[in-house]
Amino acid sequence: MIGDIIETKQCQLKDPMDLFHSGQVVKICAPMVRYSKLAFRTLVRKYSCDLCYTPMIVAADFVRSAKARDSEFTTNKGDHPLIVQFAAKEAQVLCDAARIVCPFADGIDLNCGCPQRWAMSEGYGACLINKPELVQDMVRHVRNQIDNPRFSVSIKIRIHEDLKRTVDLCQKAEATGVSWITVHGRSVEERHQPVHYDAIKIIKQSMSIPIVANGDIKTLKDAENVHQLTGADGIMVARGLLANPAMFAGYEETPLQCIQDWVDIALEHGTPFTCFHHHLMYMMERITSKQEKKVFNVLSSTSAVLDYLNDHYGV
């Protein structure tokens, strides 16, 4: 019954733009390589996450290879609203990828923020913030070729040292019909430096489309503070959700029920052991001692993990 209620609620707000116009701050699970897959998205949706992204998928591989499509993109009826994030550098390739996922997702996102060397050397990710015309071209092509007007096209960016360039990029993207923009408040070179929330605020004030803030948000309190600081319409979280998938529901640390839910969902989805185990390591980071970690982190089979959870936590 609860499942029915949840599913109905999700169906009513399937269109992501409805979420941004709901008057509430939209709570978003970030695209995370290896981690923001269907099983984990299913878990965070149980704990007040409004919108989920797939991990970043290289559009050219996705279009070219059925094998890539099968391994990279899995979804189901309850997995909405869903944004598929692509790495792309050619408008038609992005369009072809968008067309493939259009029947199964609610929108696509163009990654313009990944700072990893491999991505930037291929012309993907954060190097696109220096190519506003190319970003415009890609957004325009998808807008023109996807018939569904409710299908969203968004971008996720990092900021420039010179913020005027970032505002210019965002305004150009807005003019081309981008649905919203997620801003990770660091430059390409910055990794663990403090996030520039003041920059996100300036971008928000310069735009009329929704802006999502991203970077170093670990708790619901952090999310509320960042919303107050920036005026952002949505808050996107990566590592904070890995450490505590129930974060958006207001839990300070991962509740045992959430660990139980992860075990149930992961087993049901046939999640590979390494992924299943890694998620548990992240979730239990704050609630286990150094000694417990030494034992738990080297377990090497699902049955060993299940026995450990049962013996120590009654899960």
Alpha carbon 140 to its chain centroid, in Å, reads 23
Report the alpha-carbon distance of residue 307 to residue 304 in Å, rounded.
5
- Amino acid identity of 22? S
Active-site residue, selected from the candidate residues 114, 127, 170, 258:
114
In which residue are the tokens 């509740």 written?
Answer: 255
Active-site annotation holds for 95:
no
Helices within 84-230 (DSSP H only): 91-101, 117-121, 132-145, 163-175, 197-205, 220-230
- Binding site annotation covers 31? yes
Contact present, 44 and 258 (Cβ < 8 Å): no
- Binding site annotation covers 45? no
Report the alpha-carbon distance of residue 17 to residue 148 in Å, rounded.
13
Report the alpha-carbon distance of residue 247 to residue 87 in Å, rounded.
28
Look at the alpha carbons of 41, 115, 210, 27 in this order and tell me if their dihedral is positive or negative: positive
- Binding site annotation covers 298? no
Q: Is 53 helix (H, G, I), strand (E, B) or coil?
A: strand
- Binding site annotation covers 85? yes
- Binding site annotation covers 246? no
Q: Residues comprising the binding site? A: 31-33, 85, 184, 238-239
Which residues are known catalytic residues? 114
- Per the annotation, binding residues for FMN are 31-33, 85, 184, 238-239
